[in-house]
């Protein structure tokens, strides 16, 4: 067989492997992705939406909806660890990401109610910044600080004095209040520093949540380690 014939044969083999792979993946997408739980009858379409989401993701998910005191949706599926085919269960734990920002906002509202903070006050009362603006009020405290001017280590992230200095020396990426940007990483540092200054006991946001709301934020407990989802 000449070189052209060999190349053609290899191409046919590779094409066959590719088709078999796509066929297998397609079959797996529709028959092997676990999805458990229930919905009330008129919300049954949500199950199909969840299944379609799971087909495009490596991980799993859970969704529970309570309406007027009744659980109307309680679904969970996919994989807590795809590499070992460990399925996502009803009690699987995972990182909540930006849902934690809600608690920062609630604690700010609590402090306003108590008179510790005021939305219309300038940050200068609490916070020094090289780039402080006259109108840089608390309600747009984040504005322009979607990133800090320098990187920092995990060890530095646990030291409030270092984070304070980094924030003070960081220049907003735009004039505060003129644009909108998602402060995905910096939000927690910013609001924690504000709370430390405004709180009468100079507590961190974690301490305020634990002491005033009894919401503990120490991460996974030893008895829940095996319930954690794995993200690779």
Instruction: Please state whether beta strands 70-77 and 61-67 pair in parallel, antiparallel, or not at all (unpaired).
Output: antiparallel
> What is the mean predicted confidence (pLDDT) over 160-189?
85
Q: Which of 18-27, 45-54, 141-150, 170-179 has the lowest mean pLDDT?
A: 18-27
Look at residue 135 and tell me whether its pLDDT is greater than 50.
Answer: no
Q: Determine what percent of the chain is predicted with pLDDT higher than 90.
A: 34
In the prediction, which pLDDT does 3 show?
59
83 and 58 in contact (C-beta within 8 Å)?
Answer: no
Nearest to 143 by CA among 174, 102, 109, 185: 174
- Condensed to tens digits (0 to 9), the pLDDT of residues 38-86 reads 999 999 999 999 998 888 777 899 999 999 999 999 999 999 888 888 8
In the prediction, which pLDDT does 76 show?
96
130 confidence band (pLDDT: 50, 70, 90): low
- Flag whether the pTM goes above 0.85: no
Look at residue 227 and tell me whether its pLDDT is greater than 70.
Answer: yes
The residues with which 5 forms a beta bridge, in sequence order, are: none
Look at residue 218 and tell me whether its pLDDT is greater than 60.
Answer: yes
d(CA 31, CA 39): 20
Nearest to 202 by CA among 116, 140, 118, 141: 116
d(CA 36, CA 43): 15
């Amino acid at each position: 067989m000449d070189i052209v014939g060999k190349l053609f044969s290899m191409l046919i083999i590779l094409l066959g492997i590719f088709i078999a792979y796509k066929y297998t993946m397609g079959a797996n997408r529709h028959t092997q992705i676990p999805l458990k739980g229930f919905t009330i009858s008129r919300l049954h379409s949500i199950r199909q939406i969840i299944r379609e989401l799971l087909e495009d993701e490596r991980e799993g998910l859970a969704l529970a909806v309570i309406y007027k005191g009744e659980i109307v949706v309680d679904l969970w599926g996919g994989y807590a660890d795809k590499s070992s085919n460990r399925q996502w269960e009803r009690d699987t734990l995972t990182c909540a990401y930006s849902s934690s920002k809600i608690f920062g906002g609630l604690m700010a509202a609590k402090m306003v109610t108590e008179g510790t903070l005021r939305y219309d006050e300038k940050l200068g009362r609490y916070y020094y910044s090289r780039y402080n603006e006259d109108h840089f009020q608390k309600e747009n405290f984040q504005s322009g600080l979607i990133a800090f001017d320098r990187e920092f280590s995990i060890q530095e992230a646990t030291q409030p004095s270092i984070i304070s200095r980094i924030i003070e020396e960081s220049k907003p990426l735009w004039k505060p209040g003129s644009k909108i940007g998602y402060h995905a990483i910096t939000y927690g540092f910013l609001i924690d520093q504000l709370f430390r200054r405004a709180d009468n006991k100079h507590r961190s946001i974690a301490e305020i949540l634990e002491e005033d709301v009894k919401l503990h934020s120490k991460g996974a407990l030893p008895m829940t380690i095996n319930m954690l989802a794995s993200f690779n």
